[in-house]
A = this chain, B = another copy of it.
């Protein structure tokens, strides 16, 4: 077990470095005009975060026997989308947050107008990274990959989840309503990360169905653990403003279930995620290790 844990740590670090290198390469240099925008885009994306979505893409790509270089592009694309969503989510008209990944948020470090454009341009860049080079054997599949990402992050996906979140601030939510918000706000992009990684490989429909079930559980587990950490940690450990949900009267798994039950729920979701991978052998080891990482992380 100690052996496998070390292995996972090394695997994770190598993939984090790999996606960082791709992000470095696809983001225009800070010297390229318009330089303030490019500098701010690099600030928002590089050198921070756990890169959970890229890691899920890599792990799913390995489970599907995908070309590593192709999966790297997908990993970068989903991280660009994630970074764009954080920059816009932190804006004064949204969560009005000043701390992210242990540093001032983008609109604090630059200005609101620049942060708005950073998010806009990062979304475009994600689609560019997904379409600039061939990423799978069949170009028609790649067109479908673009559609998959677009659907996952649009008004019926991630952006829709943000809108549900806005509408529910200060409202009493039921557990199904809270789950519906998270399935959209964070779950859809996590699902897309897994499915896009897998689509670089064999892309067999039944296997994709299993990965989809895995991804849904992983996405929800990620959010439940996020809520527990937000309630229990301080801002320094977390690298973002802690205890914010309670102060903003936002419903969370902790506010609706209490910490102990929320932890149990995360463990159940981990179990379901592992169940979904039963038809997989050793090729899915990283996905199994990742669900442990998601559920057992401390920040």
Contact = CB atoms under 8 A, between A and B. Distances in A.
Interface of A: 28, 32-34, 36-38, 41, 84, 88, 91, 93-94, 111-114, 116-117, 119-121, 123-125, 127-128, 130-132, 134, 138-140, 142-144, 146-147, 149-151, 153-157, 159-160, 162-164, 166-167
Chain copies in complex: 2
Contacts of A88: 116, 120
A114 B166 contact: yes
B163 A150 contact: no
A124 B163 contact: no
Contacts of A34: 155, 160, 163-164, 167
A143 B139 contact: yes
A111 to B, nearest CB: 8
Contacts of A162: 117
Closest 5 CB pairs of A and B: A128-B150, A124-B154, A93-B112, A121-B155, A139-B139
Contacts of A144: 131
A152 to B, nearest CB: 9
19 contacts: A32-B156, A33-B164, A34-B155, A37-B160, A91-B116, A114-B166, A116-B116, A117-B159, A120-B123, A120-B159, A124-B153, A127-B127, A128-B150, A128-B151, A130-B146, A131-B146, A131-B150, A132-B147, A138-B139
A125 B36 CA distance: 28
A154 B112 contact: no
Contact of A155 (B125, B157, B167): B125
Nearest to A144: B131
A84 B91 CA distance: 18
B121 A159 contact: yes
Contacts of A140: 134, 139
Contacts of A166: 113-114, 117
Given A34-B163, A139-B140, A139-B142, A154 B93 contact: no
A164 B149 CA distance: 29
B147 A128 contact: yes
Contacts of A151: 124, 128
Contacts of A128: 147, 150-151, 154
A140 B162 CA distance: 33
Nearest to A107: B93
Given A143-B131, A155-B38, A160 B33 contact: yes
Contacts of A157: 124
Nearest to A38: B155
B121 A120 contact: no
A142 B114 CA distance: 31
A5 to B, nearest CB: 38
A188 to B, nearest CB: 11
